[in-house]
Amino acid sequence: MAQSNARSAQASKILETSPLDPAEARWIRLGKITYTDPLGVKRVWETAERQTRPKNSTIDGVGIIAILDTAQGPEILLQKQFRPPINKVSIEVPAGLIDEGETPEQCAVRELKEETGYVGAVEKTSTVMFHDPGLTNANSSLVHIRIDMSLPENQSPVPELEENEFIECFTVPLATLYEETKRLEQEGFGIDARVGTLAEAIELGKKYSF
Ligand SMILES: *[C@@H]1O[C@H](CO)[C@@H](O)[C@H](O)[C@H]1NC(C)=O
Ligand SMILES: *[C@@H]1O[C@H](CO)[C@@H](O)[C@H](O)[C@H]1NC(C)=O
């Protein structure tokens, strides 16, 4: 099922790429970590940190595994969004950063409503996950949300996007997520690791029947 959305994710274009002066950086801070390895040798690691870390939250943000129950079986809600660092439209799960004072579950319900228009119920929350621990301390959890398609508010969901957000939503049957990510990659989309890993996990589940 595709949702029409006038604010297309596809129409962005990179104009220039240049080094970032740390004094100009608003979202990311680069750091240098000095540590000793198991042999006691002193070493240095370079790291990128979000400057947006909420004060008393256990995580930076959430990813949302939003499942729609349809007559044809469970479908996962995904998004297309242009991501400048990869110069591609990326296929991602809905996601967002935690606002101060918010729990991961509250954040997930809020972001889902804002980005997709759907109202959902939280089922469970994953462990804290590190996205790319060799590069950054950024962390998040996956919150599972069930979207009841019989609710009146889920009949024609309308996202409430911010003026700089251009997100298109679509759904994929969980059973064919792996094939669909392969197809989307061939069409030129970038597959976010959370979506790709989920697709691989479903394939493993099928292969080893758990
Ligand atoms: C994960 O991120 C949160 C929020 O920024 C931070 O407080 C927490 O220490 C991080 N967790 C770990 C284990 O690094
Ligand atoms: C964060 O701290 C405030 C005040 O200390 C508290 O009211 C709130 O519940 C906390 N939020 C979370 C997510 O722990």
Domain ranges in the chain are 57-208
Measure 143 CA to ligand 1 centroid, in angstroms. Answer: 17
Q: Whole-model pTM?
A: 0.89
**Nearest ligand to the C-alpha of residue 61?**
1
Atom of ligand 2 minimally distant from the CA of 55:
1
Q: What is the pLDDT confidence band of residue 1, given thresholds at 50, 70 and 90?
A: very low
Tallying the residues shown for the chain, one arrives at 210
Q: Give residue-wise pLDDT tens across range 19-60.
A: 999 999 999 999 999 999 999 999 999 999 999 888 889 999
**C-alpha R_g of the chain:** 19
What distances in angstroms separate CA 139 from CA 20, 35, 47, 131, 142, one per listed residue?
23, 21, 14, 6, 10
The whole-chain average pLDDT of the chain stands at 93
Which residue CA neighbors atom 3 of ligand 1 most closely?
Answer: 59
Atom of ligand 2 minimally distant from the CA of 101:
11
| β strands within 53-138, DSSP E | 61-70, 73-83, 88-92, 95-97, 121-125, 129-130
Helix or strand or coil: residue 88?
strand
Q: Are 75 and 174 in contact (CB under 8 A)?
A: yes
Q: What is the pLDDT confidence band of residue 6, given thresholds at 50, 70 and 90?
A: low
CB count in 10 Å sphere of residue 107: 24
Question: Tell me, what's the pLDDT at 210?
Answer: 80
**Nearest ligand to the C-alpha of residue 97?**
1
What distances in angstroms separate CA 105 from CA 4, 62, 68, 97, 203, one per listed residue?
28, 8, 18, 12, 28
Residues 73-86 as b or e (16 or more Cβ within 10 Å = b): eebbbbbbbbeeee
- The binding-site residues of ligand 1, defined as CB within 6 angstroms of any ligand atom, are 53-54, 57-60, 128, 137, 139
Q: Give residue-wise pLDDT tens across range 124-152.
A: 999 999 989 999 999 999 999 999 999 99
The CATH class of the 57-208 domain is: alpha beta
Question: Tell me, what's the pLDDT at 165?
Answer: 85
Residues 161-176 as b or e (16 or more Cβ within 10 Å = b): eeeeebbbbbbbbbee
Atom of ligand 1 minimally distant from the CA of 98:
4
Measure 97 CA to ligand 2 centroid, in angstroms. Answer: 16
Measure 19 CA to ligand 1 centroid, in angstroms. Answer: 28
Helix or strand or coil: residue 105?
helix
Measure 111 CA to ligand 1 centroid, in angstroms. Answer: 20
DSSP annotation of 136: B
Measure 63 CA to ligand 2 centroid, in angstroms. Answer: 21
Q: Give residue-wise pLDDT tens across range 68-83.
A: 988 889 999 999 999 9
Query: Residue 96 is encoded by which pair of tokens?
Result: 């967002």
